[in-house]
Chains A and B, each alone.
Chain A
Amino acid sequence: MKHHIEFKDTQREIHNFRLRLALSLGFVLLLLLILLVRFIYLQVMQQSHYQTLAENNRISIVPIAPSRGLILDRNGVILAHNYSAYTLEITLSKVADLKATIDELAKIVDIQPGDRKRFKRLLADNRKFESLPIRNRLTDDEVARFSTQRYRFPGVEIKARLFREYPYHEQISHLVGYIGRINESEIAQLEEDEVAANYRGSDYIGKTGIEQKYESELHGKTGFQQVEVDAGGREVRVLSRTPPVSGNNLVLTIDAKLQGIAEQAFGNYRGALVAIDPRNGEVLAFVSKPGYDPNLFIDGIDEQNWNELNNSPDVPLNNRALRGQYSPGSTIKPFMALAGLHYKKRIPSYAISDPGYFSLPGSRHQYRDWKKGGHGSVDLFKSIVVSCDTYYYGLATELGIDNIFNFFSEFGFGKKTGIDLEGEVSGLMPSQEWKQKRHKQKWYAGDTVSVGIGQGYNLVTPLQLAYATAILANDGVAYRPHLLKEVQSLRTSEKRILGMNLESNLNLNAEHLALVKSAMGAVTQPGGTAAMAGAGALYAFAGKTGTAQVIGMKQGEKYIESKIQERHRDHAWFMAFAPSDQPKIALAVLVENGGHGSSTAAPIARKVLDYFLLGKLPQPLLTVEEAEGAEDD
């Protein structure tokens, strides 16, 4: 019985067991099927999707920065170029302890605290997997030393990179400008202009000057490299490559030699000089003194240099030629004379008797001539040659501010010239309307008197005055001043020559022009205000001196140059064109605190003209001391 039950139980038990085993088998088969379906789904139906994801993982598009276009002067002299140098770069993803690595590196190559600071700044806005330079411009020695020990530094590499260099340093700095690392707002701007993709490999962008204005020409087209990378972002191999297209070379209208001579001629003076070819508007020299070394800015200027530049009383960062606004002083007299003739307020032969001052009818206030006792009988010709103030006080009063404003506006006063540089200011040509708006005051007759000799509200930039001089020299045919002469494409060796821009033709009366120009010619002759600067010139050149007051003089007070602090001395102007009969060059020189135009500004102009017209190199420079005691304005 017992045996029977046990036997029966075992049978039932085995039956139950096999049933459950079969159920398990079904369960196993079901799960295997689920796996199979999943595999088919992933590997057949979704294959292309995951293929793409795997490719995206694997392939990284690495931009190749194009080499930036060169900047050359009109004769092919290089003003900005690139050179290849070695940098020591750290790939962040490969370095565990950054500080320790840098400390170790510092034992092999020279790493200054400034380098660390710069690196930290770069670190703050780095893109993922990017390698960042800890040291630029390694010496051959350093390269050799690192190479022997590179095994110790995984993630640190020596790379050859292109660097920008401005071989003229302080010279031409204001014109050429500089490039610097791209900042946040520039990135935003690039994105807005929809060119951000072209900057993916670029670290630098033009910040000022030509570098900024012609950024799009100079930058070039970024190339791309398809690279296989591993999960750590390390490059495994190159799959394909689209080479970059170098930026275009820019040939400027500037003559670097002329520019250099002009800069030298300033000596220790601050100031500006702009020389223009009046026949086409090409800017031949564009000087703002003092300059600064643009090379300092490329990789971010260090604090010390920045403070030095930014806090200097000489304001070297200010582009005086473009942005400096000064009273034009007597340099406006030739234009006043033309206006007088144009509006028929004066005929050439009409002469005044100059008592040494001018008073408005019904007023006892005396507007003094710079020469005590006056110049005697003064006609239009003489008024320019001796720079008679009294003549122009009267003329201005008769012309009235409206006529003066209209006539001067034609010569570009109070307006931007439209030169191809950013940041130009417009100067100021006052009008009744302007005064009402600006000062909420009506225009007084006395305002016109001061404007008549360039000491009123009027302000000009050296560029503006040079432009006005060029218009005058070219008999009223105005070409917009420009700096870019030619764009050269390296790839196609195609050259784009930029034409001249005819701005306007003032349709001035030829006789009026001839008279004023001949008077300006006499300024540089014996008896003229710039006779000393004109002495011995082998060509005829026309000019006009000017003085811009820095501090006002009280009625009856005498301006004694030697008693006034250097910074409070008048600014000296000189405008000129040469040769007088067929001008090839027109220029304006401003010497800050130079005293009188004849003593400091005119000699600079003479040196520039001598070189430009004769190829003559200047004599040793005039020092500040020598310039004292020169003839009056």
Chain B
Amino acid sequence: MTRRLLWQRFVAHLDPVLLAALGLLLLVSLVVLYSASGGNWSRVLAQMTNILVACAALWVVANMPLHYLMRAAVPVYLLGMVLLIAVAFFGEIAHGARRWLNIGVTTIQPSELMRIAVPLMMAWYFEKHEAMLTLKNYFVATLLLLLPVALIARQPDLGTAILIASSGFYVLFLAGISWRVMLISLVILMASMPLAWSTLHDYQRHRIMMLLDPAQDALGSGYHTIQAIIAVGSGGMFGKGYLNGTQTHLDFLPERTTDFIFAVYSEEFGLLGNIVLLTLYSFVIARGFVITANASTYFTRLMAGSITLTFFTYAFVNMGMVSGILPVVGVPLPLVSYGGTSMVILLLGFGMLMSIHTHKKLVQT
């Protein structure tokens, strides 16, 4: 009887529907990772560890009352900013980008933290000024967003910068920023494009150019995109079969376990597999929408909406870049690509969703 009670306490704040969809995606991750790594069990085990750690984070956050989350917003955001500034000055350079900070025990990537911290901060800010939102509030919120985005874009880490920018934009959008302001901002943005272009790094420009015509540099930067598209296209309707992807297993695909894992999946499972994957993602997103729609407070609505839409954005950008409709910006496929930090941040987000959902229920009952 006590065991059952304990179990009920344990799962009380978990959302079974969301959990099931996430579980299936994580299963896909392990299955594809085994193939993508060429049957490397240690990779699969490492990913399992990532998942376990991330699940623990999910559980902890899911059981956290909402005011805890709100209280965490400002310190987490400030910590993130400090770390980002530290990166700008003392960060370690790898692959031509300054993204990592050595904190003695290990190196961390503060931009990952900002993926949660930025929407959290913005949602907190809007909640605080909920009573009478003026244009000034939107301006301040935008500033809260643009500061870290600018720092991250400078590292340079275009992929993360874009995704954080979009997560912040979702908060602004859902917080009710007026259409007129959005339109004016858009016009200003378009007008400043040439200026933005001039501040981009060469490799970033190259990637954008490559999107327009990957074949122009088939053996250079375009190589990755072309090989990925070949993998996807040659997968056909039903795929080449598990462990039978030639592009994958003969090393033609780059970054097979991380950014391009979707190409591996797509080659081996074909269109049918892609539809299954899209369905799983849709399921997660749909559940996210339901939770968002039913969220009880302004803060939780903004937070839940931003988490859900950002998750979708991750998935869309990754699949879009692998299938050649978006530039290669270095975004992993959420919940499937190999990687610990990304996994923890993502499941942390879903933990918040569950917390939002279940704590609201508790409040109601």
Q: Which chain A residues have a beta carbon within 8 Å of chain B's beta carbons? A: 6, 13, 16-18, 20-21, 24-25, 28, 31-32, 34-36, 38-40, 42-44, 46-47, 49-51, 53-55, 57-58, 228-232, 236
Binds A, one of B80-88, B150-158, B228-236: B228-236
Determine if A43 and B237 form an interchain contact, defined as CB atoms under 8 angstroms apart: yes
Interface residues of B (CB under 8 A from A): 131, 170, 173-174, 176, 227, 229-237, 246-247, 249-252, 266, 270-271, 274-275, 278, 282, 285, 289, 292-293, 298, 301, 305, 309, 312, 316, 319-320, 323-325
A16 and B176 contacting across the interface, CB-CB below 8 Å? yes
In the bound complex, what is the Cα–Cα distance between A38 and B323 (angstroms)? 7
A43 touches B270 (CB 8 A): yes
Q: Which residues of A contact B176 (CB under 8 A)?
A: 13, 16-17, 20
Q: Give the docked Cα–Cα distance between A325 and B309 (Å).
A: 93
Give A231 to B227 CA distance when docked, in angstroms.
10
Residue from B174, B234, B250, B319 in contact with A20 in the complex, judged by beta carbons closer than 8 Å:
B174
Q: Which of A13, A24, A44, A53 makes the CB contact (< 8 A) with B173?
A: A24
Give, as a whole number of angstroms, the nearest-CB distance from A550 to chain B.
Answer: 64
Minimum C-beta distance from B320 to chain A (A): 7
Q: Is the interface of A mostly helix, strand, loop or mixed?
A: helix
A34 to B278, CA, bound (A): 12
| A48 CB, min distance to chain B CBs, angstroms | 9
* Cα(A526)–Cα(B174), bound, Å: 128
User: Which A residues lie within 8 Å of B174 (CB)?
Assistant: 17, 20-21, 24
Tell me whether chain B's interface is mostly helix, strand or loop, or mixed.
Answer: helix
Task: Pick the residue among B234, B251, B305 that contacts A53 (CB under 8 A).
Answer: B234
Contact of A13 among B232, B298, B325 (CB under 8 A): B298
Contact between A53 and B230 (Cβ–Cβ < 8 Å)?
A: yes
- Could you tell me if B247 and A39 are in contact, using CB atoms closer than 8 angstroms? no
Query: Does the CB pair A24–B309 fall under 8 Å?
Result: yes
Min CB–CB distance A568 → chain B (angstroms): 66
The interface residues of chain A lying within 8 Å CB-to-CB of B282 are: 32
Determine if B301 and A54 form an interchain contact, defined as CB atoms under 8 angstroms apart: no
> Given that A35-B319, A35-B323 are contacting pairs, would A21 and B250 also be in contact in the complex, using a CB cutoff of 8 Å?
no
Report Cα–Cα, A21/B304, bound state, in Å. Answer: 11
Measured in the bound complex, the distance between the Cα atoms of B222 and A129 in whole Å is 21
Partner of A32, one of B173, B278, B292: B278
Are A49 and B173 in contact, with the CB atoms below 8 A?
no
CB-CB < 8 A to A13: which residues of B? 176, 298
Kindly provide the distance from the CB of B300 to the nearest chain A CB, expressed in whole angstroms. Answer: 11
Q: Which residues of A contact B325 (CB under 8 A)?
A: 34, 38
Q: Name the residue on B nearest A9 (C-beta).
A: B131
How many Å from the CB of A26 to the closest CB on chain B? Answer: 11
Closest-CB distance, A129 to chain B (whole angstroms): 13
Closest A residue by C-beta to B177: A20
Known: A21-B293, A34-B325. 14 other contacts (CB 8 A): A17-B301, A24-B170, A25-B289, A36-B275, A38-B320, A39-B232, A39-B274, A47-B233, A53-B233, A53-B234, A54-B234, A58-B247, A228-B250, A230-B251
CA gap between A57 and B218 in the complex, in Å: 13
Among candidates B251, B271, B320, residue contacting A44 with C-beta atoms closer than 8 Å:
B271
Q: A35-B323, A57-B252, A236-B250 are in contact. Are A50 and B271 (CB under 8 A)?
A: no
Question: Are B229 and A21 neighbours in the complex by a CB distance under 8 Å?
Answer: no
Question: Which chain A residues border B309 with CB–CB below 8 Å?
Answer: 24, 28
Closest approach, in angstroms, between the C-beta of B168 and any C-beta of chain A? Answer: 14
Most chain B beta-carbon contacts within 10 A, residue among A17, A32, A54, A230 = A54
Residues of B near A51 (CB, < 8 A) are 233-234, 236
B185 to chain A, nearest CB (A): 16
Residues on A with C-beta less than 8 A from B227 are 57
Contact yes or no, B266 A43, CB < 8 A: yes
| Contact present for B293 and A49 (CB under 8 Å) | no
Q: Is the CB of A43 within 8 A of B233?
A: yes
Cβ–Cβ contact A57 & B247, under 8 A: yes
Task: Kindly provide the distance from the CB of B342 to the nearest chain A CB, expressed in whole angstroms.
Answer: 20
- The answer to whether B237 and A230 touch across the interface, beta carbons within 8 angstroms, is no
